[in-house]
Amino acid sequence: MKPTAIVTGASRGIGRAIARELSGTHQVIATYRGRRDAAESLQAETGVEICQTDISSAAGREALIQFARERFPSLDLLVNNAGIAPRERRDILEASEEIFDEVLNTNLKGPYFLTQLAARWMAQSGAGRIVFITSLSAYAASVNRGEYCVSKAGLAMAVALYAQRLASCGVKVFEIRPGIIRTDMIAKVEKLYEERIAGGLLPQSRMGEGSDVARAVRAIADGLLDYSTGQVLNVDGGFHLRSL
């Protein structure tokens, strides 16, 4: 039997690329929140299972794990990919608590407690891999979307916490930190990013694609980094480098 994987937020963008990459080797549950049409097209294309859920709620997280338990005897890989940008970009001096809570509940609280549920299940078999998809925004400050930056910085610490706690259980935990990736999330500013990249923003002078992140997940899923729990993989064209 193929190993099993859950990929959250898989109907579009990075999550879709990851689900597509894993579908040949894993039995994949691909989650979505609102875009059923996109999820069904992924299912038709790859044969993955799809599950509508909202990971920002405890009920949604529990329903997802129950959905997986009813279908598979174990869970081998969890990819925490689901995330949202703030509905509107506001300077941090003008930002609202409502949008802050919305972003943090989905981007940080959701994967933090979904991982708790998945880790308990994985620990029963003494094996498993967990991946958090964070962002360069874990360390690069954008004052007009502070909620997003705070959520990703918190998620980076969640990786360290879970990696430390789960090492003795045989469960490995990793962070993949994408840079500027061509997705719906950056559609409004894609032209600006392309101009900045052409002007030298990145050492590797192209925008990233979802497939770039998916290949990093592939390396983890195949066990190539199993002695590197807690590792951060920058998939960012070299953005993280500092040079004079």
**Which residues are known catalytic residues?**
148
**Dist. CA 113–CA 120, nearest whole Å:** 11
Q: Which of 207, 234, 211, 67 is nearest to 136 (CA)?
A: 234
Three-state SS at 200: coil
Closest alpha carbon to 197 in 239, 229, 167: 239
Whole-angstrom Cα distance, residue 233 to residue 185? Answer: 21
Give phi and psi for 80, each to the nearest 5. Answer: -80, 90
Which tokens hold the place of 82? 């689901």
